[in-house]
A and B are shown apart, each in its own frame.
Chain A
Amino acid sequence: MVVAVEKNLGGLSSAEYERRLEKFEARINRGEKIEPADWMPDDYRQQLIRLIHVHANSEICGALPEGRWIPHAPTFKRKLALLAKVQDEVGHGQLLYRAAETLGPSREQMIEDLISGKSKFSNVFHYPAETWADVAIIAWLIDAAAIINQTMMAEGSYGPYARALKRICYEEAFHMKHGYEMCVVLANGTKVQRDMLQDALNRWWTPIMMFHGPSDKESKHTAQLVRWKVKLKTNDEQRQQFLKQFVPKMLDLGMKIPDKSLRYDKASDTWLYDDPDWNEFKKVVNNGGPVSQERVEARRLAHRDGQWVREALAAAAERKPVPMPPTN
């Protein structure tokens, strides 16, 4: 799809804009990172703000489905690991809002946009975590899918985002191990536990297949993002990578994948599958999913109930700094 867009030249003459653009693209081709103070095309800035903002929103909304199960975690080991994982997700949100701030918008504004429904978050967090096994599936497979996406994005051209993603991927790798281990235990557990795990996979399979975004024939952003090394692989390429890595592992655990047409095609070295309903995906990410309103409401409540705290901190900071006690 080719759309004629009037470029925002940022007050530059057309010739000057082209000159700068050429230099900018040459830097990217050489593998250099673009830093906050560097010149960048407005399109690049806006695309990055959109991506990082959605990513940050997804981290703090993603804390909700798993966070709901922290009080119910059934052993010390699980409770400590889950609490640490959800804490990491909130930490990623904080890191990413800061990365987005380097491009202009304030955190306050970005959170306002999330709770007013103006900005989006990942499709998978619009679904409920109904049982303890959902926590295992989320930590294993959604974190796995996220690692595929983020490892790629970490090679991207914008410095602050790439650096944040390096650290995030490192932590996500632990989450995935924690999730896989939970799945192994449930898959080898009692019938109740095995059924719980299969039921969770049945409900999560389609959202996970949608996680990397619309198929390449429908995705409108990809081409330019690839050229500017914001994104290095298409949605379908990422999905294939996920299937190749994880379908065999799921089958090993005795899990049944709820897509009858899923099969490996040797000739093309790809997994063939039933393409998800992308209209459903669009509806979900526009806050029309099963628990979209609940997620946004949880964020709105946290923000609203924290208003007096933020005001008090600002007022206290204007008075005098609180001295730290001796540390011996």
Chain B
Amino acid sequence: MDTKAFQSLDCLPGTLREAVINLLYRLADDELVIGHRNSEWTGHAPILEADIAFSSMAQDEMGHAQAYYQMLHQLGEADPDTLAFGRKPREFRCAALVCLPKGDWAFSVLRQFLYDAAETVRLTAFVESTLVPLAQLATKLRGEEKYHLMHGRSWVLKLGVGTEESRGRMQAALDVAYSCALGLFEPTEFDEPLAQAGIAPRESELRRQWESAVAPVLADAGLHVSEAAKPVYGGRVGRHPEALKQLLDQLQLVYNIDPTAKW
């Protein structure tokens, strides 16, 4: 691995710059969309304590999105608000997992767990990134992510072993979510240059680490991953479930009254 460090975003040569921009869109859009989905539970969760915890994590995810968009802005893209509120669905680079509607509580907590495990694997790798601003941000975000993962793991285990109904709901959720979660690791044309420059590991490598992280928890919860589970790809090149358009219509409703106004 090339150990040359990029002290700032300005140090990136042209080809890597494009790759980093693509990577940051993937990261930011995933965070924004899952944060939005989780915030849909605010005021409606099964117990007040869960309501509060989910709102808290939604704020964290949105804060992470904002931080990644800010890096994009430093790389010459529009400002964070314009990037979140002013783009069309096909311009988004998020995975299908985060786009799906919130479903029941089983689906939302399971999705959050699978997502947080992926984020933890990614952030842990980014801490060693040769791109210094990314390594610094990852170090900060990883502290929050630790608690998200503990939260998710605890819910998966409790609902997995709780009652027949809760186990059934969790298994049904897993049957839908697992394939979509594999789509978080959709390979892109930028995998090789990013890996060779030591900025980010290959998606295939991250997927391998993620699988070994989630498998024991799912097993302890008595949940089975279908052998037929195939990754749902397309998100990283702008092909999304219809649900993303509906979500963005909601997200951008007030902004679109007057995108030039100060709100």
Residue numbers of A with Cβ under 8 A of B are 60, 63-64, 67, 69-76, 78-80, 83-84, 86-87, 90-91, 93-94, 97, 132, 185, 189-190, 192-193, 298, 301-302, 305-313, 315-316, 319, 322, 324-325, 327
Contacts and interface: CB of A to CB of B under 8 A. Distances in A.
Contact of B48 (A69, A90, A327): A90
B32 to A, nearest CB: 9
7 contacts: A63-B42, A76-B65, A76-B84, A80-B63, A192-B257, A309-B47, A309-B105
A86 B43 contact: yes
A75 B85 contact: yes
Contacts of A311: 162-163, 165-166
Contacts of A313: 47, 158, 162
A308 B106 CA distance: 10
Interface residues of B, number: 52
B220 to A, nearest CB: 9
Nearest to A71: B250
Interface in B23-41: 36, 39-40
B5 interface: no
A322 B159 CA distance: 11
Given A74-B85, A87-B55, 20 more contacts: A60-B43, A63-B42, A63-B43, A76-B62, A84-B59, A87-B42, A87-B56, A90-B42, A90-B51, A132-B257, A189-B262, A190-B261, A302-B43, A305-B46, A305-B104, A307-B46, A308-B166, A310-B47, A324-B150, A325-B153
B253 interface: yes
B17 interface: no
A62 B58 CA distance: 20
A325 B217 CA distance: 11
A196 B4 CA distance: 54
Contacts of B262: 185, 189
